[in-house]
């Protein structure tokens, strides 16, 4: 369909292909046993080796496997940007962490501008600045609506041992908002600063704060960040930093990341409410 120029019909098939990938992944579930995950990754690597896959790709996957085995983040220095040639399907890695794709596909000779880049996570795909601002401004209201009517005991209750209750989700949202705020401040004050990768989900919980206090602190922190974003010149959305995991990122990408991330936790709050009855 795409080759024939029927682009709006082709997009439906691209969407269905992606949908099938998501559904198949959800059906298999997330491996909770590290050994099981390691076995799946190694099996995939061996399959690619037997198919004669690009050695650079095999090496990068082995870096990924070792990172998963040791439960650590993967810096961009270990796995550079990755592209797929839309003409022949060749997987192409950049020559360096911040490098660009080669001018032409080594498989078929197609030119670089036709490659599709795969970011570390889709959260990094930038939204329009106005859309980002509206999403970040609406988030505290949406979270407040999601927890409306719950008392402190209900928000602190976990559905199962080891699972997050709503209070843990609120704490996580506060941690990530303060991370966003700090990064925006640095990226506006410094030229191309270095940003550390942060496992926000692993931050030490502030047990002294109630859920209500966490929500209030989250709201105030967000207001301060929004004031910065609204007051800065339009061109500042494209100020950059060097992220340990993601390589070169802009303020727009960081704001888009956290706006999308927050939306992903709203269904989690609803699911916890449902489990608690």
pLDDT digits (tens, 9 = 90+) for 107-116: 999 999 999 9
Q: How far apart are CA 197 and CA 249, in angstroms?
A: 12
Pick the closest to residue 175 from 156, 154, 199, 197 (CA basis).
Answer: 199
Classify domain 124-276 at the CATH topology level.
1.20.120
Residue 208: pLDDT band (50, 70, 90) is confident
Mean pLDDT of the chain: 92
In 88-141, beta strands by DSSP E: 91-93, 115-118
- Read off the pLDDT of each residue in 255-277 and give the average, rounded to a whole number: 94
Domain boundaries defined on the chain: 82-92+99-118, 124-276
pLDDT at 178: 96
Q: Count the neighbouring beta carbons within 10 Å of the beta carbon of residue 164.
A: 18
Q: What angle do CA 38, 40, 46 make, to 5 degrees?
A: 100
Pick the closest to residue 257 from 130, 142, 169, 127 (CA basis).
Answer: 127
pLDDT digits (tens, 9 = 90+) for 53-63: 989 899 999 99
pLDDT digits (tens, 9 = 90+) for 152-206: 999 999 988 888 999 999 999 999 999 999 999 999 999 999 998 876 555 555 5
pLDDT at 34: 86
- Read off the pLDDT of each residue in 12-17 and give the average, rounded to a whole number: 96
Q: What is the pTM assigned to this prediction?
A: 0.88
Q: How far apart are CA 109 and CA 92, in angstroms?
A: 12
Q: How far apart are CA 59 and CA 79, in angstroms?
A: 9
Helical pair 211-231 and 166-189, crossing angle rounded to 10 deg: 20
């Amino acid at each position: 369909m795409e080759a024939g120029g029927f682009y709006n019909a082709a997009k439906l098939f691209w969407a269905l292909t992606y949908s099938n990938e998501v559904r198949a992944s959800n059906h298999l579930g997330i491996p909770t046993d590290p050994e099981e995950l390691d076995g799946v990754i190694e099996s995939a690597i061996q399959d690619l080796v037997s198919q004669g896959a690009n050695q650079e790709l095999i090496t990068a996957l082995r870096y990924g496997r070792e990172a998963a085995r040791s439960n650590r983040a993967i810096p961009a220095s270990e796995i550079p940007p990755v592209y797929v040639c839309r003409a022949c399907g060749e997987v192409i890695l950049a020559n360096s962490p911040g490098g660009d794709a080669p001018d032409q596909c080594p498989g078929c000779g197609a030119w670089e501008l036709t490659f599709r880049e795969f970011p570390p996570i889709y959260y990094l795909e930038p939204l329009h600045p106005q859309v980002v601002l509206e999403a970040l401004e609406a988030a505290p209201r949406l979270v407040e609506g999601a927890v409306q009517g719950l008392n402190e005991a209900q928000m602190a209750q976990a559905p199962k041992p080891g699972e997050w209750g709503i209070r843990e989700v609120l704490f996580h949202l506060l941690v990530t908002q303060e991370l966003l705020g700090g990064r925006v401040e640095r990226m506006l004050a410094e030229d191309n600063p270095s940003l550390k990768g942060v496992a926000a989900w692993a931050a030490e919980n502030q047990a002294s704060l109630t859920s209500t206090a966490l929500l209030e602190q989250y709201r105030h922190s967000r207001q301060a960040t929004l004031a910065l974003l609204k007051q800065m010149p339009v061109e500042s959305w494209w100020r950059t930093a060097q992220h340990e995991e993601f390589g070169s990122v802009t303020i727009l990408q960081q704001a888009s990341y956290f706006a999308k991330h927050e939306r992903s936790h709203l269904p989690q709050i609803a699911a916890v409410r449902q489990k608690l009855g």
